[in-house]
Structure 1
Amino acid sequence: MTHCLRPLAAAALALCAISTHAQETFKIAYIDPLSGPFANVGELMLTHTQYAVEDINARGGLWKGTQLQLLQFDSKLSAQESQSALQAAIDQGARAIVTGGSGSSVVTALVQAATRHNQRNPGKEILVLNHSSIDPELTGKACSFWHFQFEANTAMKMKAIANYIKGQADIQKVYLLNQDYAHGKQWAHYGRELVSLARPDIQFTGETLHPIGRVKDFAPYVSRIKGSGASSVITGNWGQDMALLLKAAGEAGYDLRYFNHSAGSVPGTVLAVSQAGRGQLTWVAEWHPGQADTPRVDALAAAYKAKTGKDFLAPRIDLTPRFLAAAINKAQSTDPVKVARALEDLTVETPLGPLRMRGEDHQLLLPQVVNTIAPVDGKAVKLGWEGTRYGFRTDAVYSGNELAQGSDCKMKRP
């Protein structure tokens, strides 16, 4: 009788092992554009996310050997498609979303959909980890317990630029040219507001919004800027909208100074600046390639390049899954509610130094580097990028605490 039970016992143990193994996977859904005019941006963000997930798993995973599993969905730069992807991710067992490059309106829709789902399905909650959509409302009036912002928001980035412009007496006339959606409007709003506070003498000569991802020729817009007498442009454009603006201004022989949030971390921008042959593109991010005195980011970038064959551009995307991993380990649980609580006020030692996720509004206090894409000179710019003789010049560095803004978040916690 005992002998007969042995195969059954063995089978039961095998089933138990399979069940335990299944429980040791924490699924993350990547939802961002993988087709259309901004597919190159989506692929960049996906590769950064994949690298971090694979590195975490290769180092032994998380609490109790939990492994991260990355699911992929194409948002198609659409709120509707993104919400459909969210539901598909939930159906496949995802407990967190990594997103950010779909635009603020899309990410806001995802946060709202995730919040509704979590309210209706206790025990099946899902987190939203946002590494690139920088609408201050996401950590302000529209804040959600389920959303965490891993990028400096629009106001923080513009404050860094305004602080820098304060010392640039040659900047006198500025035009506001932006994409016609939430982020573009906010970049214009904070540009006018914060730059005016830093430099009340600056004259804003005009403001235009254009359709996102649909303009093929920016020559008419460049002509409008030139006619206004502006020598500088505050623009939140990214992807092909930035590249085509640079191209049109270069063809018109117009030597503009552009102030942008993250253009240099998008593939092809440095090449576009070099091809335009005119103008200066100043942008702000947590780090830039060739930045001095960043040995830990340099080591990460080298390891990333060795494994993927691609250039490393965005530490914040890499650290997003790592913060999640640290929170799971701190909580000693994969329950999203416990993980979210562990993320609040969590400080993690990163290649950028120690960073804290502010608990009151879920805003990561990320440093910002104002830098300009400029020709290699062997001094300020030592490294060429994208096969060109152009690289990045550090203009100013500000800590996350220096740029931190107040928040009117009134968060409802479960």
Structure 2
Amino acid sequence: MYRQRLGKILYMAAAAVSFQAAAASDVIRIGELNSYKTQPAFLEPYKKGMDLAVEQINAAGGVNGKKLELIVRDDNSNPGDAVRTAEELITRDRVDVLTGTFLSHIGLAVSDFAKQRKRFFLASEPLTDKMVWEQGNRYTYRLRNSTYMQVSMLIPAAVQMNRKRWAIVYPNYEYGQSAVATFKRLLKEAQPDVEFVVEQATPLGRIDAGNVVQALADAKPDAMFNVLFATDLAKFVRAANQRRFLKDLPVVSMLTGEPEYLDPLGRETPVGWVVTGYPWYAIDTPEHNRFLKAYQDRFNDYPRLGTLIGYNAILSLAAGIEKAGSTDTEALIAAFKDLTLDTPVGPITYRGLDHQSTMGAHVGTLAIENGKGVMTDVRYVDGATVQPDDELVRKLRPADAQ
């Protein structure tokens, strides 16, 4: 009797495992890791953007006849934790592909992990140039435009300001350091007589805004490049407005036009700054209007830049997997090479040369309307137009990264 019961139990267990394996074969598991706890302003809308894309794709029949399943984990904004989380997604959660990361140093850590484990990784958000150049590898592609691309979008405005004495303020980690190095080099090439009279490198999320503003003001600059974002940006602008430091000071600024960071400024929005951002309210194209309506219908809210990045990341993975015909790593690497797909902001291509997408960004000037910060004089800059020449990219990228 015991043996019969044991045999029945083992049979049922084997059947359950077999059923689970069969069920698993009917889904494509996307493992996503990100800094949800520390960067909620960007990543909560980002998660909703991913969810919307997954729902739409699955409602249309999935990818290659399989439904998408999103498995999300927090990386605690720590490179070591991020690598451990990526390993758990692969070994415990059995994901087919990896995507995500927000902070640049976290993205670089996961990219190196993907290289070591020989697994495909789509970096959705980290901006550092090293992701696709100096530390690029054949297993990693990147969706969002890089620091080089965004700085290049702002250089024409900086040159037009025709100011000589520049101040710089930035968060002191990979993203900020990369942006500043590129800005100084490109502005110097365009305007050789410029001087960088003061720099303030602040700890991420822990800016001493009053002292930073005072140090910048003491140098008496006649223009400024800002790379701060999130709560650091809000604290800095508030302190600068209190000290009237920003009065009549021309500024070019990365990311400030993104709703995640612009909305909290409200009436304190620094009017006249030239910024990169996402003016969802000013984009009138059929593709974006469909995306906007779908998002508003689903979440009763307006999208942020994070929403667009999350949405496009899932669209990219779906297009790449469909082209590859599977989630095999080598097939995905080949499929993403020069992959082109349509997005709410127009078509983008993943360059085979350096695995960077050509997704662009909007550039405009800050103003206040009805007590809220907005971007005006908006133009979209195609990412393909703000890349360095191919010869330089080949020099920067490791020879074994193709």
Question: TM-score when scaled to structure 1?
Answer: 0.84
Aligned partners of 1:49, 1:260: CA distance in 2, in Å? 27
Task: Map residues 320-335 of structure 1 onto 2, 5 A cutoff.
Answer: 320-335=313-328
Larger helix share, 1 or 2:
2
Aligned partners of 1:151, 1:188: CA distance in 2, in Å? 18
How has the CA–CA distance of structure 1 residues 19 and 84 changed in structure 2, closer, same or farther, with 3 Å as cutoff? closer
| Matched-pair contact (CA < 8 Å) for 2:269–2:366 | no
Aligned partners of 1:15, 1:86: CA distance in 2, in Å? 24
- Comparing both chains, which one has the higher relative contact order based on Cα–Cα distances under 8 Å and sequence gaps of 6 or more? 2
Pick one of 352, 363, 384 that aligns with 1:401.
384
How has the CA–CA distance of structure 1 residues 78 and 280 changed in structure 2, closer, same or farther, with 3 Å as cutoff? farther
Deviations 1:96-129 (A, max 9, x none): 222131x2111111111121122xxxxxxx3221
Tell me the residue number matched to 1:349. Answer: 342
Tell me the residue number matched to 1:370. Answer: 363
Shift of 1:291: 2.7
| Matched-pair contact (CA < 8 Å) for 1:360–1:409 | no
Amino acid of the residue matched to residue 274 of structure 2?
T
How has the CA–CA distance of structure 1 residues 236 and 14 changed in structure 2, closer, same or farther, with 3 Å as cutoff? same
- 2:161 matches 1:160: no
Q: Which runs of 5+ in 1 are unaligned?
A: 1-11, 119-125, 377-383
- 2:24 matches 1:22: yes
Deviations 1:372-402 (A, max 9, x none): 22123xxxxxxx6xxx433111354432222
Aligned partners of 1:398, 1:230: CA distance in 2, in Å? 28
Task: Map residues 68-87 of structure 1 onto 2, 5 A cutoff.
Answer: 68-87=68-87
Shift of 1:354: 2.1
How has the CA–CA distance of structure 1 residues 89 and 203 changed in structure 2, closer, same or farther, with 3 Å as cutoff? same
Aligned partners of 1:396, 1:201: CA distance in 2, in Å? 29
How has the CA–CA distance of structure 1 residues 335 and 152 changed in structure 2, closer, same or farther, with 3 Å as cutoff? same
How has the CA–CA distance of structure 1 residues 204 and 32 changed in structure 2, closer, same or farther, with 3 Å as cutoff? same
| Matched-pair contact (CA < 8 Å) for 2:114–2:121 | yes
How has the CA–CA distance of structure 1 residues 207 and 50 changed in structure 2, closer, same or farther, with 3 Å as cutoff? same
Secondary structure class of the residue paired with 1:222: helix
Pick one of 193, 205, 227 that aligns with 1:213.
205
Pick one of 216, 221, 229 that aligns with 2:220.
229
Deviations 1:124-166 (A, max 9, x none): xx32211221111111121111111111111111111002322
Shift of 1:220: 0.8
| Matched-pair contact (CA < 8 Å) for 1:356–1:364 | yes
- 2:285 matches 1:294: yes
Tell me the residue number matched to 1:88. Answer: 88
Say what the alpha-carbon RMSD is for the aligned residues. Answer: 2.5
Tell me the residue number matched to 2:295. Answer: 304
Tell me the residue number matched to 1:42. Answer: 43
Shift of 1:17: 6.9
Tell me the residue number matched to 1:244. Answer: 235
Aligned partners of 1:265, 1:396: CA distance in 2, in Å? 14
| Matched-pair contact (CA < 8 Å) for 2:83–2:109 | yes
Task: Map residues 29-178 of structure 1 onto 2, 5 A cutoff.
Answer: 29-36=31-38, 38-63=39-64, 65-90=65-90, 91-101=92-102, 103-118=103-118, 126-169=119-162, 171-178=163-170
Aligned partners of 1:15, 1:31: CA distance in 2, in Å? 27
Aligned partners of 1:14, 1:104: CA distance in 2, in Å? 42
Amino acid of the residue matched to residue 225 of structure 2?
I
Aligned partners of 1:81, 1:262: CA distance in 2, in Å? 26
Deviations 1:34-55 (A, max 9, x none): 213x232222222222222222
Deviations 1:21-80 (A, max 9, x none): 3202111122111213x23222222222222222211221100x2111111111121111
Deviations 1:276-315 (A, max 9, x none): 2545443224x42233443321321221122123321233
Deviations 1:324-351 (A, max 9, x none): 1111111221223212211111111222
Aligned partners of 1:116, 1:369: CA distance in 2, in Å? 36
